[in-house]
Structure 1
Amino acid sequence: MNKQESNLIPALRLGLVCLVLCSVMYPLAVTGIGQLFFSYQANGSLTEDENDNVIGSELIGQTFTDPALFQGRVSSIENDAAGSGTPNYAPSNPELISRTRDAIEAQQLANPDGGRVPQDLVTNSGSGLDPHISVEAAEFQVPRIAEVRGIPEEELYNLIERHRTSQLEEMLEAPAVNVLKMNVDLQALR
């Protein structure tokens, strides 16, 4: 047996050990720790209704069209979690200008008492899946929802305040609310 052949067997053993450790043991350990300590997050942060039916994930935006509910950001991929992304149009792109103008008109029509339309209600997020809107965007929709539901605006402002991101998160980014979580609590107000 020459020197090259004698080095081959330990190299193959090391490769096999690394393969088992990296592709079997490590994934099993990480999955086990995730399920043991972070089960809710590891399973997709799924939100259920009162009948234990899954109605969505708090991590993925949904399209709400009911005027009695808060509506989230526009999504060029229709909030399809099979893939994320959005067209990277230049600000001068006619398609972007047209889509944004249409979204502004739709928001003004749906929310005539809202005032100036917040930017995040007419623009995509980077992934097209963002489940959050700014507090300003939520407050913009309050008059419409209060009128449709027949509830005082003050209740809706309190609901928004309860769902604001934490102070730590707000130090890093603008105050926001999760649309799905707010709508679940809004349904419970009936």
Structure 2
Amino acid sequence: MKTQLRPALVLLVGLTAITGLAYPLAMTGIAGAIFPAKAAGSLIERDGHVIGSSLIGQSFTTPGYFHGRPSATTAADPADASKTVPAPYNASNSAGSNLGPTSAALAERVKGDLDTLKAENPSAAVPVDLVTASGSGLDPDISPDAALFQVPRVAKARNIPEERVRALVTSRIEGRTLGLLGEPRVNVLALNLALDDLARP
């Protein structure tokens, strides 16, 4: 029995040290050296304060800002810990709603969002990503069409010509990664920061 137990324990300790300690530390060190900003969470600072991450969406609800995709993330109900309440872009609880196409709750929510968006911009078709949540609930990006759809509302709320806001959106469109992966997109937080800069004297 000892002849079998000793090699098994040595192998367990050795592999734990290699795969559980040495490898993660090496990868963390290499990532920090090669990609320091990304390894630190792709944080965005403004006036010396961290205001978010380019990888995690935020909830913008006022008319003067571009809005991201709906988020289905939740948090514990402060009144009853056994229940949850909506908490958009809750990074500690990344998840989709798991509601399917036959869900009455999903259909009602989408219809309400569609009605609101159509009232904001009745002359344009509503982009699908403005009424559908991502699988993570944390998507920081929207499609260029979704950003351009919101231009009239944002321009009106900020009293800025639509052409300037539209040009700002166009300048913030990111192409496919390596020219192949994903779709063209606009980071909502970066766009809103640029919008604030545009409004500054």
* TM-score, with length taken from structure 2: 0.84
Q: What CA deviation, in whole Å up to 9, does each residue of 1:50-95 have, x standing for no partner?
A: x111111111111101211111111121110102111222212211
Q: Which residue of 2 aligns with 1:44?
A: 41
Write the distance in 2 (CA, Å) between the matches of 1:169 and 1:155.
29
Greater shift in the superposed pair: 39-48 or 4-13: 4-13
Which runs of structure 2 are paired with 1:87-106 in the superposition (5 Å)? 87-106=97-116
Matched to 2:33, the amino acid is L
Deviation at 1:124, TM superposition (A): 0.6
Which of 79, 83, 90 in structure 1 is aligned with 2:89?
79
Deviation at 1:114, TM superposition (A): 5.2
Matched to 2:144, the amino acid is V
Matched to 1:97, the amino acid is A
SS in 1 for 2:27: helix
* TM-score, with length taken from structure 1: 0.88
SS in 2 for 1:86: coil
SS in 2 for 1:61: coil
Q: Which residue of 1 aligns with 2:162?
A: 153
| Number of positions where the alignment pairs a residue of Structure 1 with one of Structure 2 | 185
Write the distance in 1 (CA, Å) between the matches of 2:189 and 2:178.
18
Structure 1: gaps of 5 or more residues: none
The structure-2 alpha-carbon separation of the partners of 1:36 and 1:134, relative to structure 1 and needing over 3 Å to count, comes to same
Which of 42, 51, 54 in structure 1 is aligned with 2:50?
54
| Contact 1:165/1:176, CA 8 A, preserved across alignment | yes
Identity %: 42
More strand by share: 2
Matched to 2:36, the amino acid is S
Deviation at 1:176, TM superposition (A): 1.4
Write the distance in 2 (CA, Å) between the matches of 1:171 and 1:126.
22
SS in 2 for 1:71: coil
Q: Which residue of 2 aligns with 1:124?
A: 133
The alignment yields a C-alpha RMSD, in angstroms, of 1.8
Q: Which residue of 1 aligns with 2:17?
A: 20
| Contact 1:134/1:177, CA 8 A, preserved across alignment | yes
Matched to 1:17, the amino acid is G
Matched to 2:197, the amino acid is A
The structure-2 alpha-carbon separation of the partners of 1:135 and 1:114, relative to structure 1 and needing over 3 Å to count, comes to farther
The structure-2 alpha-carbon separation of the partners of 1:26 and 1:127, relative to structure 1 and needing over 3 Å to count, comes to same
Structure 2: gaps of 5 or more residues: 74-87
